[in-house]
Amino acid sequence: MKQLLSAALLSTCALSAIAAAPHHAPWTYESPAWGDLDAEYATCKLGKEQSPIDIRGAVPGGFKPIHFAYAAGSAKVLNNGHTIAVRPEGGSKAHLPSGDYELIQFHFHTPSEEVIDGKTYPMVAHMVHMNSTGQFAVVAVLFEEGGANPIIEQVFSSMPAHGAEPVKLAGTLNPEALLPKDRTYFAYTGSLTTPPCSEGVLWHVIKQPVGISAAQIAAFKALYPMNARPVQPLNGRTIGLSQ
Protein backbone atom coordinates (compact mmCIF):
# COMPACT_ATOMS: atom_id res chain seq x y z
CA MET A 1 0.00 0.00 0.00
CA LYS A 2 2.83 2.43 0.83
CA GLN A 3 4.38 1.87 -2.61
CA LEU A 4 1.00 2.38 -4.28
CA LEU A 5 0.43 5.63 -2.40
CA SER A 6 3.91 6.90 -3.18
CA ALA A 7 3.38 6.23 -6.87
CA ALA A 8 0.08 8.07 -6.78
CA LEU A 9 1.69 11.09 -5.17
CA LEU A 10 4.52 11.22 -7.64
CA SER A 11 2.57 10.55 -10.83
CA THR A 12 -0.65 12.49 -10.30
CA CYS A 13 -1.93 15.23 -8.12
CA ALA A 14 -2.13 13.73 -4.78
CA LEU A 15 -3.81 12.01 -1.97
CA SER A 16 -7.05 11.48 -3.85
CA ALA A 17 -5.47 10.28 -7.08
CA ILE A 18 -5.23 6.68 -5.86
CA ALA A 19 -9.02 6.42 -5.89
CA ALA A 20 -9.09 7.08 -9.63
CA ALA A 21 -7.46 3.72 -10.34
CA PRO A 22 -9.83 1.45 -12.30
CA HIS A 23 -9.91 -1.29 -9.66
CA HIS A 24 -11.08 1.09 -6.91
CA ALA A 25 -14.67 2.18 -6.43
CA PRO A 26 -15.48 5.76 -7.45
CA TRP A 27 -16.26 8.14 -4.59
CA THR A 28 -17.66 11.62 -4.10
CA TYR A 29 -17.79 14.26 -1.41
CA GLU A 30 -21.58 14.28 -1.60
CA SER A 31 -21.63 10.70 -0.24
CA PRO A 32 -18.72 10.47 2.22
CA ALA A 33 -19.51 6.96 3.58
CA TRP A 34 -16.41 5.81 1.73
CA GLY A 35 -15.73 2.84 3.98
CA ASP A 36 -18.79 1.08 2.55
CA LEU A 37 -17.74 1.46 -1.09
CA ASP A 38 -14.68 -0.76 -1.32
CA ALA A 39 -12.70 -3.07 0.95
CA GLU A 40 -9.62 -0.93 0.20
CA TYR A 41 -11.43 1.99 1.86
CA ALA A 42 -12.27 0.19 5.11
CA THR A 43 -9.96 2.43 7.14
CA CYS A 44 -12.20 5.40 6.26
CA LYS A 45 -14.83 3.78 8.52
CA LEU A 46 -12.79 1.69 10.95
CA GLY A 47 -9.72 3.86 11.53
CA LYS A 48 -9.23 5.55 14.90
CA GLU A 49 -6.85 8.32 13.76
CA GLN A 50 -8.77 9.88 10.90
CA SER A 51 -8.50 13.39 9.46
CA PRO A 52 -9.63 16.13 9.42
CA ILE A 53 -10.50 17.08 13.01
CA ASP A 54 -11.88 20.00 14.96
CA ILE A 55 -8.74 21.34 16.65
CA ARG A 56 -9.43 22.12 20.31
CA GLY A 57 -7.45 22.04 23.54
CA ALA A 58 -3.99 22.02 21.98
CA VAL A 59 -1.07 21.46 24.36
CA PRO A 60 1.53 24.23 23.78
CA GLY A 61 5.28 23.97 23.45
CA GLY A 62 5.81 20.39 22.40
CA PHE A 63 6.98 20.89 18.80
CA LYS A 64 9.89 22.84 17.34
CA PRO A 65 9.36 25.30 14.45
CA ILE A 66 9.34 23.99 10.90
CA HIS A 67 12.29 25.03 8.76
CA PHE A 68 11.10 25.52 5.19
CA ALA A 69 13.60 25.30 2.34
CA TYR A 70 11.19 25.90 -0.51
CA ALA A 71 12.68 27.01 -3.81
CA ALA A 72 11.42 28.78 -6.91
CA GLY A 73 11.11 26.59 -9.95
CA SER A 74 8.81 25.35 -12.68
CA ALA A 75 5.51 23.74 -11.74
CA LYS A 76 2.54 21.96 -13.28
CA VAL A 77 -1.15 22.37 -12.40
CA LEU A 78 -3.35 19.26 -12.50
CA ASN A 79 -7.06 18.46 -12.14
CA ASN A 80 -7.85 14.92 -10.99
CA GLY A 81 -11.62 15.24 -10.67
CA HIS A 82 -11.51 15.89 -6.91
CA THR A 83 -9.26 18.94 -6.61
CA ILE A 84 -6.72 21.20 -8.29
CA ALA A 85 -3.14 20.37 -7.40
CA VAL A 86 0.26 21.86 -8.11
CA ARG A 87 3.37 19.76 -8.59
CA PRO A 88 6.47 21.94 -8.08
CA GLU A 89 9.70 20.94 -9.74
CA GLY A 90 12.10 23.17 -7.82
CA GLY A 91 13.30 20.68 -5.21
CA SER A 92 11.46 22.26 -2.27
CA LYS A 93 12.09 20.67 1.11
CA ALA A 94 11.08 21.12 4.74
CA HIS A 95 12.71 20.07 8.01
CA LEU A 96 9.90 18.97 10.29
CA PRO A 97 10.20 17.75 13.90
CA SER A 98 10.17 14.20 12.51
CA GLY A 99 12.96 14.85 9.98
CA ASP A 100 13.56 15.96 6.39
CA TYR A 101 10.82 15.84 3.77
CA GLU A 102 10.38 16.79 0.11
CA LEU A 103 7.36 18.80 -1.03
CA ILE A 104 5.61 16.50 -3.53
CA GLN A 105 2.57 18.66 -4.31
CA PHE A 106 -0.05 20.95 -2.84
CA HIS A 107 -3.78 21.01 -3.46
CA PHE A 108 -6.92 22.80 -2.30
CA HIS A 109 -10.17 22.15 -0.44
CA THR A 110 -13.21 24.38 0.01
CA PRO A 111 -14.33 24.93 2.67
CA SER A 112 -11.32 24.13 4.82
CA GLU A 113 -11.30 20.54 6.01
CA GLU A 114 -9.58 21.72 9.19
CA VAL A 115 -11.76 23.33 11.85
CA ILE A 116 -10.28 25.33 14.75
CA ASP A 117 -12.45 25.70 17.85
CA GLY A 118 -15.49 25.18 15.67
CA LYS A 119 -14.45 27.70 13.02
CA THR A 120 -14.23 26.72 9.35
CA TYR A 121 -12.30 28.79 6.79
CA PRO A 122 -13.25 29.38 3.14
CA MET A 123 -10.35 27.32 1.79
CA VAL A 124 -7.22 25.42 2.75
CA ALA A 125 -4.09 24.32 0.90
CA HIS A 126 -2.59 20.96 1.82
CA MET A 127 1.14 20.90 1.18
CA VAL A 128 2.02 17.22 0.91
CA HIS A 129 5.51 16.08 1.85
CA MET A 130 7.20 12.70 1.80
CA ASN A 131 10.48 11.52 3.28
CA SER A 132 12.94 8.91 2.04
CA THR A 133 11.04 6.07 3.73
CA GLY A 134 7.64 7.01 2.26
CA GLN A 135 6.29 8.72 5.41
CA PHE A 136 3.74 11.44 4.59
CA ALA A 137 3.60 14.81 6.34
CA VAL A 138 1.12 17.54 5.46
CA VAL A 139 1.37 21.26 6.18
CA ALA A 140 -2.08 22.87 6.01
CA VAL A 141 -2.36 26.58 5.15
CA LEU A 142 -5.74 28.16 5.92
CA PHE A 143 -7.21 31.00 3.87
CA GLU A 144 -9.49 33.83 4.96
CA GLU A 145 -11.22 36.28 2.65
CA GLY A 146 -9.20 39.43 2.00
CA GLY A 147 -7.08 40.81 -0.82
CA ALA A 148 -6.07 38.91 -3.94
CA ASN A 149 -3.32 36.37 -3.34
CA PRO A 150 -0.55 36.55 -6.01
CA ILE A 151 0.47 32.90 -5.94
CA ILE A 152 -3.17 31.78 -5.94
CA GLU A 153 -3.77 34.02 -8.96
CA GLN A 154 -0.82 32.40 -10.69
CA VAL A 155 -2.22 28.91 -10.07
CA PHE A 156 -5.94 29.53 -10.50
CA SER A 157 -5.45 31.33 -13.82
CA SER A 158 -4.07 28.03 -15.16
CA MET A 159 -6.57 25.49 -13.79
CA PRO A 160 -7.24 22.78 -16.40
CA ALA A 161 -10.56 21.01 -16.80
CA HIS A 162 -10.93 17.48 -15.49
CA GLY A 163 -9.40 15.10 -18.02
CA ALA A 164 -7.24 17.75 -19.64
CA GLU A 165 -3.48 17.58 -19.73
CA PRO A 166 -1.55 19.22 -16.89
CA VAL A 167 -0.72 22.88 -17.48
CA LYS A 168 2.85 24.07 -17.05
CA LEU A 169 2.91 27.45 -15.33
CA ALA A 170 4.56 30.35 -17.10
CA GLY A 171 7.64 31.50 -15.22
CA THR A 172 8.53 30.09 -11.82
CA LEU A 173 6.60 29.41 -8.64
CA ASN A 174 7.92 29.51 -5.08
CA PRO A 175 5.65 27.57 -2.69
CA GLU A 176 6.97 29.61 0.23
CA ALA A 177 4.82 32.51 -1.03
CA LEU A 178 1.80 30.56 0.27
CA LEU A 179 3.03 30.61 3.87
CA PRO A 180 2.09 33.26 6.46
CA LYS A 181 4.72 35.17 8.42
CA ASP A 182 3.75 33.51 11.70
CA ARG A 183 4.22 29.78 11.22
CA THR A 184 3.07 28.56 14.61
CA TYR A 185 1.21 25.32 13.98
CA PHE A 186 -1.02 22.67 15.51
CA ALA A 187 0.29 19.10 15.23
CA TYR A 188 -1.37 15.72 15.44
CA THR A 189 -1.23 12.27 13.87
CA GLY A 190 -4.01 11.54 11.40
CA SER A 191 -4.79 10.17 7.98
CA LEU A 192 -5.24 10.93 4.34
CA THR A 193 -8.51 12.86 3.95
CA THR A 194 -9.52 10.94 0.83
CA PRO A 195 -9.84 7.18 0.15
CA PRO A 196 -8.14 4.96 1.18
CA CYS A 197 -7.86 7.18 4.32
CA SER A 198 -4.55 5.56 5.30
CA GLU A 199 -3.36 6.53 8.78
CA GLY A 200 0.06 7.51 10.12
CA VAL A 201 0.10 10.89 8.34
CA LEU A 202 1.77 13.69 10.34
CA TRP A 203 -0.35 16.86 10.25
CA HIS A 204 0.87 20.42 10.81
CA VAL A 205 -1.91 23.03 10.61
CA ILE A 206 -0.54 26.57 10.54
CA LYS A 207 -2.52 28.71 12.94
CA GLN A 208 -2.36 32.05 11.09
CA PRO A 209 -4.45 32.17 7.89
CA VAL A 210 -3.42 33.98 4.71
CA GLY A 211 -5.60 36.16 2.50
CA ILE A 212 -7.49 35.17 -0.61
CA SER A 213 -10.01 37.24 -2.54
CA ALA A 214 -13.68 36.45 -2.96
CA ALA A 215 -13.12 36.26 -6.73
CA GLN A 216 -10.36 33.68 -6.28
CA ILE A 217 -12.55 31.57 -4.02
CA ALA A 218 -15.34 31.79 -6.60
CA ALA A 219 -12.97 30.71 -9.38
CA PHE A 220 -12.12 27.51 -7.52
CA LYS A 221 -15.74 26.88 -6.56
CA ALA A 222 -16.72 27.10 -10.22
CA LEU A 223 -14.88 23.79 -10.58
CA TYR A 224 -15.33 22.36 -7.08
CA PRO A 225 -18.18 23.91 -5.07
CA MET A 226 -17.41 21.63 -2.10
CA ASN A 227 -14.56 19.15 -1.72
CA ALA A 228 -14.07 18.80 2.02
CA ARG A 229 -14.38 15.69 4.15
CA PRO A 230 -16.39 16.15 7.39
CA VAL A 231 -14.43 16.30 10.66
CA GLN A 232 -13.69 12.96 12.27
CA PRO A 233 -13.66 11.84 15.94
CA LEU A 234 -10.51 12.68 17.90
CA ASN A 235 -10.58 9.33 19.76
CA GLY A 236 -8.29 10.54 22.55
CA ARG A 237 -5.50 11.90 20.38
CA THR A 238 -3.37 14.74 21.74
CA ILE A 239 -3.07 17.93 19.69
CA GLY A 240 0.16 19.89 20.09
CA LEU A 241 0.92 23.56 19.53
CA SER A 242 4.41 24.45 18.35
CA GLN A 243 6.85 26.74 20.11
Residues with catalytic annotation?
A: 82
Give the whole-angstrom CA distance, residue 144 versus residue 21: 34
Give the whole-angstrom CA distance, residue 151 versus residue 177: 7
Choose among 162, 216, 217, 196: nearest CA to 41: 196
Choose among 90, 88, 102: nearest CA to 132: 102
Choose among 135, 78, 138, 140: nearest CA to 109: 140
What's the length of the chain? 243
Give the whole-angstrom CA distance, residue 62 versus residue 240: 6
Choose among 89, 202, 199: nearest CA to 139: 202
